[in-house]
Structure 1
Amino acid sequence: MDSHRITTAGISAEVSARGAELVSLRDAAGNEMLWQAGPEWPRHAPVLFPTVGRLRDDTLRHDGKSYALGQHGFARDSQFEWSERSPDRVVLRLADSPETRQSFPFPFRLELIYAVADDVLTVTTRVTNPGDGPLPCGVGAHPAFRWPLMTGISKDDHVVAFETQETGSARSVVGGLLGKDKPLPFDGRQLKLSESLFAKDALVMPGVASRQVTFSALDTAGDSAASLTVAWNGFKDLGIWSKPGGAPFICIEPWYGMASDVDWDGEFLEKPGILVLPAGETRDFQWSVRF
């Protein structure tokens, strides 16, 4: 595998050129905190671009034409080029090509910047529109973390705590598309985790107020025995997912954009919630994890 590891005393991360994907994330003691692409789900932390989620019939419609574009887009399966490699930072790049234009008829430049400092990994997704017209796209992160976080603590003794009071509802997922709102079993600040939460796919939370969440394993007194915090800037939506039926990971996913509504099948430029980047502009989306 063509990959590179970046390291500090408090954290280390390995990134692959395939998909610009984070494939390892270890704490100061060397414990692996990232899901290692087992049979339940063969990925670690895919980059979502130029869509987040599914389009109806996996079809992008633009200017009277139809293009086949699968769930979460093609970046996660593309070969990126290294533009920088150092002990604590890497930069990878992907640009439009005749191949990408077969499924996504827009010029783009995409950079993934991974950097470590102290006990924090920061990931920046930089989207540039080099074209003459608008660039519509979705952008997202999909990191999968160990669940349970600690040996000896059950999966049910874990919570995701939100920075800010949330509405307590999420969009349902129907065949990969968005359905009606559904209530979440939490008070808007602390979501108690269980495998049953994901029996019908992801929890999709549009327009979250929080800009960070803390994923914690709780001891018998209800105190945090281990935790990690995922923070973000630029993203506006959030997905939380684990494999229906049970798997030893949980994904905490900052997004800009979501899957299509079940009853929406229109022009991609007009897709609700999508980013539309004007010609010549660049936008950064950042997430980080701290143990």
Structure 2
Amino acid sequence: MTVELKNDFITVKIAEQGAELISITGNDTSIEYIWQADKQYWGRHAPVLFPFVGRLKNDEYAYDHKTYKMGQHGFARDMLFTAASKSKTSVVLELGSSPETISKYPFNFRLRLHYILNNHQIKVIYDVYNPDENPLLFSIGGHPAFNVPLKNAYLNLENYQIEVAPNVERRQIPLVGPFSDIENAKSVKFNEPIKLSRETFKNDALIYELKQLETTVLLSTPEDDHGVSVTLNGADYVGIWSKYPENSPFVCIEPWWGVADNIKSTGNLSDKSNIYTLEKNKSFEGSYEITVF
């Protein structure tokens, strides 16, 4: 089923399957901002990444002397959430641990996704709670994809640019295949916008370390007045991605509290880069806002 939220400015749709944001439409302009999951390019809209961000080495991890298999970005994106509460402009979708999840992820958890409309903005809150005596280890993130172009069909990726604020020096994390190479991160500055092209994504995603500094990433074009900004509140990383070499008409701006396994990963979950640990009855909250114009 699909949940619809609406205010005077935007209409938003969220699928209960995966708690996935599948549409943001301007009420006055009828512009669809969210990528519509054309499988020719990429068959998702904005998946929730839990309990891991990115890929694990050999698609597996070890915990408490056992080895578990897990595909890229975890399982939440493929599971059915239930609506815990709903109003005209907000919804809370919930997923809890079950025998199915325990078989591949030996932790009890409660994951809630909050979607809240405010004018031209939707706020997304990740709420992870540990109901168990044992620690809960996890990472989490988002993967929202935005249409490029947004309005004028004659535009393409090369007409768009990315701006990152505040303008501070950050580390860019390279990828070796699907894995992070944190030891070879380089410092980058954002004095000028990043002019996008297909070659921008030749080595997969651009990954920047944020160190939980509030950061806004703006996707726009000088050719018209429409764009999207994503403000990340306390995230560890942001990933910016589109497919290569296909001429894919979307760009993802991804808030991450976690990252793919390091190329030197041991495979032990306790040693994983940017893994979060929650003790009994403790909660984690992370959030980001999408603003459309």
Relative to the length of structure 1, the TM-score reads 0.92
CA gap of 1:167–1:156, structure 2 versus 1, over 3 A, is: same
In 2, Cα distance between equivalents of 1:187 and 1:284: 28
**Aligned-pair distance for 1:113?**
0.9
Q: Match for 1:53: what amino acid?
A: G
Tell me, yes or no, if the aligned pair for 1:234 and 1:284 is still in contact at 8 Å.
Answer: no
Which residue does 1:165 correspond to in 2? 167
Q: Match for 1:176: what amino acid?
A: P
In 2, Cα distance between equivalents of 1:126 and 1:45: 17
Tell me, yes or no, if the aligned pair for 2:172 and 2:188 is still in contact at 8 Å.
Answer: no
Which residue does 1:235 correspond to in 2? 235
Which residue does 1:16 correspond to in 2? 15
In 2, Cα distance between equivalents of 1:182 and 1:135: 29
Q: Deviations over 1:86-131 (max 9, x none)?
A: 2111111101111101111111100011111211111111000111
Deviates more, 1:15-24 or 1:190-199: 190-199
Q: Deviations over 1:109-156 (max 9, x none)?
A: 000111112111111110001111221111101000011233133321
Q: Deviations over 1:191-218 (max 9, x none)?
A: 2211111112111222354521111111
In 2, Cα distance between equivalents of 1:158 and 1:62: 43
Structure 2 counterparts to residues 188-203 of structure 1, below 5 A? 188=191, 190-203=193-206
Structure 2 counterparts to residues 198-277 of structure 1, below 5 A? 198-207=201-210, 209-219=213-223, 225-245=225-245, 246-277=247-278
Confirm whether residue 69 of structure 1 aligns to residue 60 of structure 2. no
**Aligned-pair distance for 1:168?**
5.7
Q: Match for 1:212: what amino acid?
A: T
Which residue does 1:34 correspond to in 2? 34
Tell me, yes or no, if the aligned pair for 2:31 and 2:150 is still in contact at 8 Å.
Answer: no
Tell me, yes or no, if the aligned pair for 1:150 and 1:217 is still in contact at 8 Å.
Answer: no
- Secondary structure at the residue paired with 1:283? strand
Which residue does 2:86 correspond to in 1? 85
Confirm whether residue 7 of structure 1 aligns to residue 10 of structure 2. no
Tell me, yes or no, if the aligned pair for 2:32 and 2:150 is still in contact at 8 Å.
Answer: no
**Aligned-pair distance for 1:185?**
8.2
Q: Deviations over 1:62-107 (max 9, x none)?
A: 0111000111000000011111222111111101111101111111
- Sequence identity, in percent? 34
Q: Deviations over 1:23-49 (max 9, x none)?
A: 111113221111000021000000000
Structure 1 alignment gaps of length 5 or more? none
Deviates more, 1:209-218 or 1:132-141: 209-218
In 2, Cα distance between equivalents of 1:206 and 1:188: 17
- Secondary structure at the residue paired with 1:269? helix
Confirm whether residue 283 of structure 1 aligns to residue 284 of structure 2. yes
In 1, Cα distance between equivalents of 2:144 and 2:103: 28
In 2, Cα distance between equivalents of 1:285 and 1:73: 18
CA gap of 1:186–1:242, structure 2 versus 1, over 3 A, is: farther
In 2, Cα distance between equivalents of 1:128 and 1:23: 25
Tell me, yes or no, if the aligned pair for 1:165 and 1:210 is still in contact at 8 Å.
Answer: no
In 1, Cα distance between equivalents of 2:132 and 2:16: 25
- Secondary structure at the residue paired with 1:254? strand
In 2, Cα distance between equivalents of 1:72 and 1:189: 31
Confirm whether residue 128 of structure 1 aligns to residue 132 of structure 2. no
Which residue does 1:146 correspond to in 2? 147
In 1, Cα distance between equivalents of 2:107 and 2:239: 26
Q: Match for 1:192: what amino acid?
A: K
In 2, Cα distance between equivalents of 1:170 and 1:188: 15
Which residue does 1:55 correspond to in 2? 56
Q: How many residue pairs align between the two structures?
A: 286
- Secondary structure at the residue paired with 2:167? coil
